[in-house]
Amino acid sequence: MTSGSSPRRTAARQAALARAVEDGLLGARSPLVGLLDVDGVLAAVEALNEAFEGPATVHHTFAAKACGLVPVLRLLADAGMGCEVASPGELEQALAAGFTYDRLVFDSPAKTVEELESALVHGIAINLDNFQELARVDRLLAGREPSGPIGLRVNPQVGSGAIDAMSTATATSKFGVALRDPGAVDAVVAAFAQRPWLNRLHAHVGSQGCPLPLIAQGVRAAYELAERINAELGHARITGIDIGGGLPVNFDDEDDRPTFADYVAELRSTTPGLFDGRYTLVTEFGRSLLAKSGTIATVVEYTKSAGGRRIAVTHAGAQVATRTVFMPDAWPLRVGVFDATGRPKQGPSEVVDIAGPCCFAGDLTATGRELPAVEPGDVVALYDTGAYYFSSHFSYNSLPRPAVYGYRTTSDGQVRFALVREAQSVRGVVEESGLSQANALVALRSGGPVGRPKPGRKP
């Protein structure tokens, strides 16, 4: 299905690439940059809200892991989203972006006592992962009422999608209470019966590679369990169901598919009672809100041949496209070639590998692609990289993090940029690698005075 936003997105991206070269944001001195289409992000948020319109109250949260950049999070907060966080760092990023505590959902399979206590005090919605964590919250509450909703994550064990690592509802998944294990359902029912403050269920089947029927099957399992618990307790103990996120993204072409509307139609078909207004619904979409709006652009430094294969060496590799490099079949990216002025390249094509700068042979973002002839100074664009690729940097070879810019385009093709994150300097890389402690190990070896170790992370 062709999305009405696809032609606009393509035109806006081309205009932004040309303007980035013209303005010097991309070139010999800045050979790698991330570009985010702001209008595309806002259109995705609008499509999400429209898809879930109906009697049920729905709280949409953005999964911060997909792009933990404060300006991006603030844009989403301004658009009315909440934020799902899974670590102290993501929590602080969300707060810095302007999300209030009541718009946050805290998920993590390894929450510390301090993190739980902070969430309980501030009224952050929490999804507990297991019975040990449930007992820990019992001790922390010590009879007092929590300030926010508390849910229990369950694993419906409905199986795996095409990418095992992205499938969180397998028989042996590390997440949640495994419902098909012997005695698990009865234990969950008992947990709710014993705790008046436990009022949500959470289920997340997976993301990329998971088909809609599989995701809907997992949501249905959570809904049916909520219905059973409420029936057995004789009242609406469970008032909310967190259905997670996980809408897969089409990386094959420009179209948006499946859409949020497709997903909701699947849910309405399999679990119509989910939307009748008895439950508050919570979503945690990430990749599907940003991926299509992002582009990583890099200058081609060299071209060469090896074994009859053309190779274009660029500055975008495993440090920004980690999943694509290490799992190319699961995470393929579309590639565009532009000339040195940032205009789409025309002419005869050639079969080429697109290589990155990392010092290992597998650092390839595309292999055997038929593309317009690539020359040094050209620009290679990696499409659909708005989620994870900008913020989940892999520090191999101590390569610095690239700058990221948001952009908007007018109807006549004019482009405006806003800096999202400055490019990391080489000096910054050195400082981050322990420069201030440069003499610590030498002093330890010689028996001289060493600095006192500092404690680890704090919530």
Q: What's at 41, amino acid-wise?
A: V
* Closest among 284, 267, 287 to 56, alpha carbons compared: 267
- Contact 317/365 with Cβ under 8 angstroms? yes
Secondary structure element (H or E) that encloses residue 71, with its range:
helix 70-78
Structure tokens at 253: 């072409």
Q: What's at 356, amino acid-wise?
A: G
H-assigned helices in 112-259 = 113-122, 131-141, 184-194, 212-233
> What are the beta bridge partners of residue 170?
none
> What are the backbone angles phi and psi of residue 47, rounded to the nearest 5°?
-65, -35
Secondary structure element (H or E) that encloses residue 16, with its range:
helix 5-22
Q: What's at 265, amino acid-wise?
A: A
Q: What is the DSSP letter of 144?
A: P
- 210: annotated active-site residue: no
Angle at 404 between CA 399 and CA 406, to 5 degrees: 170
Q: Where in the sequence numbering do the catalytic residues fall?
A: 359
